[in-house]
Structure 1
Amino acid sequence: MFVTDIRKDFYEKVLHKRVLVLVSFDVDAICACKILKALFHCDSVQYTLVPVAGKMDWERVFSEHAEQLEFVVMINCGATLDILETLQPEENVTFFVCDSHRPMDLVNVYNDTQVKLLMSPEESIPKYEDIFRDDESDDEDDIGNDSDGSEPNGKRRRFDEDVLERRMERRRKRREWDERRHQLLFDYEEFSGYGQSAAMIMYDLAWKMSKDTNDLLWWAIVGLTDQLLSKKIDRETYVLEATELNRHVARHNHRGDEEEDSVSINSMRISFTSELQLALYRHWSLFESLRHSSYTACNLKLWTLKGFKKLHEFLADMGVPLSECKQKFSAMDMGLKDNVTDWLVTSARKFGLEQITLSSFHAQYGFKNKFCAFDVAYGVNALLESVETEKSQEGYFLEALDCLSRSNIDKLAHGLELSKRQFRATVNTVQSLLDMTQVISAGSFLYAFIQEGTPDTRYFARPNCLGMLARFTLEAYVKMSKNRKARTLPLVMTAPLNLETGTLLVVGIPPLPELEQSSKNFFGRAFEQAGKKTSSRILHDNFDSSVIEMKNEDRSKFFDALISLLT
């Protein structure tokens, strides 16, 4: 059931109790976890925090802690699964679920005892009476048993005919109800998508308890920003949510100009301004940022000789020397750096880059460190999906969690460097796929395979990074393709996951119009049906249904079935 008062029905319930917190491996979940940790520390709530990489991990962790707990908090995991059926908990265990994945399992929605959903209800959820009903026997006790058998044969025959007719009518109504239920479930579960950021839900809790701070607000901002960057929400939804967060920014950061000089070195100030859609440009060179940002790279077609020439024309139109553009942004001439944003926006209009700016948030730590929410989201994700081998998955999770603290700027800086490597690997792979014409049309969708031995494949054995590559590839292909239908096609991409076990990571993304206007994705159900049809060895372990693992040997028959299914 949905919680109507998150403070009373959730937080006050877990006060003075020991809580198990399960957190999925994504930036929004980490930000939500960071906010909840701060609240728990404030009220001395005892908790055990465990990151969970997938459904099997989720089940295993719960079983290991099941005997020690009464309350479980799940962040960006659990809502899409039948929790009670899967975990088989004791009757005294209560689950509080804060999950942005959709659609939610309807058993969770209508369970009013053990499952409490911290999200807002959605209009698309079917009504209880249309999905659930008490089991009634189609064969009721024979009413004729009331008879002592002394009725004439004609009367008993008419009586039996009436009973049979009533039973047939009940069965007909039950069959119609079952058909309607099946259609409602199909319509509800056909597409996967995302709801409100988990970090924003947790920040709303902090605000309602008057315990919100600038730090908690910043983590909510980073969580929302990650949803935009990973295309989990569209631009319009982001603007609406960001406008709401800006009200809190104004409340927490209302110092006047006369107070600016007295800001403590340990203070934090957040501002809401127009930001360039250029990846990490404050921590990179302007030239490299333009090359590796999907918006500019795809619109200028920078993987072609003509497009690369156009980039130089663009920089010349700005009036910024190439030598300045190629050195680190922080080292640029002050006179140029102070004006380069305005010049870039002016030149962008001439080159068809009207949407190169988007409203975003900046955080100023003391006098020196200034970060954009876009960059922080990239850095946290890079730490979370690092390909360095000296740490475990849990180690990377904890490092990503720590880098959000102001005292760990060095860890965030390391994440930004890792993010640059991810961007380089992504752009190089996109160029290779286009040059080798390895983005193939299957009629109803596009697909691309990252071959074993391809440089930088290790980066794409991670679901978020592979998703970023798939979105970049689809946008680049659409810009290059002369086929108008290409814009309406979704993309499926595979990359080697584990060479020893011969497994692949598969991700499906919706076509570009949906990427810009909606996050609905039909590949979760399509993958499931194609797998069943071909008996392919696939694993739906990710909390996102459009991400699966598959045996390399089953790839051909799986894609044949997928083509047949979607044609």
Structure 2
Amino acid sequence: MIITRFKEDFYNVVRKTHVLMITSNDVDSLCTTAILSHLFTCDDVMFTVVPVDGYEELNDALRARQDYTSSIVLINCAVTCPILEILNVPPNSTVFVVDSRRPLNHFNVFEANQIRILVNEAERSSLGIPNLDDVIAKDEDSESDDDDDEYSEGSNDGGGRRNIIDRVTRRAVRKENKRLWESQKNKILWQYYEYNWHSTSTAVQMLELAAELDRASAELMWYAAIGVSSQYTDRLIPIEGYTDTCVTRMKPFITKFSPKNAAKSDDLLRISFGKELPLALYTHWNLYNAMAVNEYFACKTKNWTQKGEKNMKELLAKMGITLVETSRKFESIESKQKKELIEILDKEMGIGFASFTVHLGYSGQVNAADIARAAALRIESPHNVEPMDRFQAALRIIRAAISGPKDQQVILVDAFERSYQKMLKMIWHLVGTAINQSEIVSTGAFYLMSSQRAISAEVAESRHFLLNFTHFLLKAFACSKRGRSGKPLIVTFPLPQSEKQPDGWHVVTGIMPLATAFEDNTFKSIIGRAFERAAKDQQNMQLSFDSFDNSIITMRATDRARFFDKLQSILETSGI
């Protein structure tokens, strides 16, 4: 069942019970959990937090609490699956689902006893949820179709024969009506589930709840800013969707907690929103390195080729930027010169990106998008580290930006310079290698990059890494030769062996073609749906859809060829 009154039908209900929060291990979920935890603490609500990586761990968490009779809050997990059908939900509990994934599973929508899905009222009309009578079968009529009832003994007279004919006719009509209804139902559900996409950040939704409870603060706004930024940096929403959320849903909080003429003090937390470069970590790096691993500048200069460095220097000269300026650490450049460089690069990139920046007293500034990037890498992998340990490590990164200079220097330097910069270089290197060695092949309906090289366990199971690499690779592949923007790209990597991961398994993901025209400020993709169809009725293939994102799956290496053959036939008929 959908609920739109978050305060009355959600918060005022769960605050009276012990709350079990099961949260997906991603940044938006982390920020959502942080906001809800703050609200529960303010109201002395007892709660437990359990981070999970996928359906298996989610089921384990529920199975261990079968006697639980209070409220369960699922954060960014399970809204797209029939919850009561596949999960071990305690029978006497009520499940509240806070999730940005779409579409909503129709069984969850029509379940009126245990399931409560939080949806903003303004979004409800755009969800396209089918009518109940069109997709849920009614109980059969009390009239039996059994032959014994229809052909009773002693009905050999004329009236009896007419009754038999009437009953046979009615049964034939019912069967035909049922067949037509099933056909129409399948058509409706096919259209409803064809695409997957993400709605508004759940952290932003919980910030709005905090405001309704009169408990919004600059700290909670910071969590929400990182949550919506993570959707953009994880490639879940386009920049148009990100900007729309910032200037509409976040506008009241920007006005309240980002005053333009706010006075500075040693302990004052200020959050500003303004123009920013979509250049990862450039304020914590030097411009040359940040530009070299950025997909826009890398694709424009083709810096993975022999002429790449020369092309980069020519581009800098054309923009009027010297090598000395780009080689210096950005924070050491004078303020006036920084502004000039930002204006030049912003004009060159032409993306029109704006972001949230936190200021604590007189200490340095930190960008929400950079925090979202670093936290994503820390929380999502490696899976051989316990989910709670990764959850807490990522939370420390988010809080470090608002807890003072000492924490910033220790925690953020480690997250930015020792971890995330390393990942950016790895992505650039993998992209360059794939292009130079012609590892991408056309299979007809899609492009395929099937790597045999094992990658670091620190990133192999990270959604953030996989989607950023795949987007970068497709753009690099398309800019290398014309006519390559009309097909989706499927990527597969071998997973490193560990205690939780047996040898011989690959992770597979995919993205829509570059030429796809997206509507409603969302990235609507059929890849996840195509994966599910390709796996259907393939009983001899070992596949796992454990991830909450159905566009990221794992499979045995020996089953890849058959899976891709099936996927090709599906995508050929999809009309991409």
State the TM-score, normalized to the length of structure 1: 0.91
In structure 1, the partner of 2:561 is 556
In structure 2, the partner of 1:372 is 367
Separation of aligned partners in 2, 1:146 and 1:301? 77
Q: Go from structure 1 to structure 2 and tell me whether the alpha carbon gap of 1:334 and 1:88 turns closer, same or farther (over 3 Å shift).
A: closer
Separation of aligned partners in 1, 2:150 and 2:454? 80
In structure 1, the partner of 2:532 is 528
1:531-542 → structure 2 map (5 Å cutoff): 531-532=535-536, 534=538, 535-542=540-547
Deviation at 1:245, TM superposition (A): 4.0
1:18-97 → structure 2 map (5 Å cutoff): 18-97=18-97
Q: Go from structure 1 to structure 2 and tell me whether the alpha carbon gap of 1:141 and 1:495 turns closer, same or farther (over 3 Å shift).
A: closer
CA-to-partner distance for each residue in 1:332-390, whole Å, 9 max, x for gaps?
A: 245522422123335x2xxxx332x312221112211211221111111122145598x
Separation of aligned partners in 1, 2:23 and 2:523? 22
What's the secondary structure of 1:403's corresponding residue? helix
1:300-379 → structure 2 map (5 Å cutoff): 300-346=301-347, 348=348, 353-355=349-351, 357-379=352-374
Which amino acid in the other structure matches residue 515 of structure 2? P
Q: Which moved more, 1:420-429 or 1:492-501?
A: 492-501
**8 Å contact kept, 1:39–1:211:** yes
CA-to-partner distance for each residue in 1:272-320, whole Å, 9 max, x for gaps?
A: 2111121111011011111111222223322234443232123223433
CA-to-partner distance for each residue in 1:201-242, whole Å, 9 max, x for gaps?
A: 111111111111111112111111111222212222222111
What's the secondary structure of 2:2's corresponding residue? coil
In structure 2, the partner of 1:476 is 476
In structure 2, the partner of 1:297 is 298
Separation of aligned partners in 1, 2:363 and 2:437? 45
**8 Å contact kept, 1:461–1:496:** no
Separation of aligned partners in 2, 1:478 and 1:545? 25
Which amino acid in the other structure matches residue 108 of structure 1? N
**8 Å contact kept, 2:68–2:93:** no
**8 Å contact kept, 2:217–2:257:** no
What's the secondary structure of 1:461's corresponding residue? coil
**8 Å contact kept, 1:32–1:202:** yes
CA-to-partner distance for each residue in 1:84-104, whole Å, 9 max, x for gaps?
A: 122343442000000112222
What's the secondary structure of 1:29's corresponding residue? helix
1:201 and 2:202 equivalent?
A: no
> Which of 390, 399, 411 pairs up with 1:396?
390
Structure 1: gaps of 5 or more residues: none
**8 Å contact kept, 1:277–1:295:** no
More helix by share: 1
Separation of aligned partners in 2, 1:144 and 1:562? 48
Separation of aligned partners in 2, 1:436 and 1:106? 45
What's the secondary structure of 2:429's corresponding residue? helix
In structure 2, the partner of 1:498 is 496
1:237-316 → structure 2 map (5 Å cutoff): 237-253=241-257, 255=259, 257=261, 259-260=262-263, 263-316=264-317
> Which of 552, 555, 569 pairs up with 1:547?
552
Percent identity over the alignment is 30
Which amino acid in the other structure matches residue 7 of structure 2? R
Q: Go from structure 1 to structure 2 and tell me whether the alpha carbon gap of 1:328 and 1:164 turns closer, same or farther (over 3 Å shift).
A: same
Deviation at 1:457, TM superposition (A): 6.8
Separation of aligned partners in 2, 1:144 and 1:354? 76
What's the secondary structure of 1:31's corresponding residue? helix
Which amino acid in the other structure matches residue 296 of structure 1? F
Separation of aligned partners in 1, 2:269 and 2:458? 37
In structure 2, the partner of 1:507 is 509
What's the secondary structure of 1:66's corresponding residue? coil
Structure 2: gaps of 5 or more residues: none
1:161 and 2:165 equivalent?
A: yes
Q: Go from structure 1 to structure 2 and tell me whether the alpha carbon gap of 1:508 and 1:152 turns closer, same or farther (over 3 Å shift).
A: closer
Q: Give the aligned length.
A: 554
In structure 1, the partner of 2:487 is 489
Q: Go from structure 1 to structure 2 and tell me whether the alpha carbon gap of 1:254 and 1:222 turns closer, same or farther (over 3 Å shift).
A: closer
**What root-mean-square deviation, in Å, do the aligned CA atoms of Structure 1 and Structure 2 show?**
2.6
Which amino acid in the other structure matches residue 404 of structure 1? I
State the TM-score, normalized to the length of structure 2: 0.90
Separation of aligned partners in 2, 1:520 and 1:531? 21
What's the secondary structure of 2:485's corresponding residue? helix
**8 Å contact kept, 1:267–1:366:** yes
Separation of aligned partners in 1, 2:153 and 2:442? 74
**8 Å contact kept, 2:55–2:546:** yes
**8 Å contact kept, 1:72–1:93:** yes
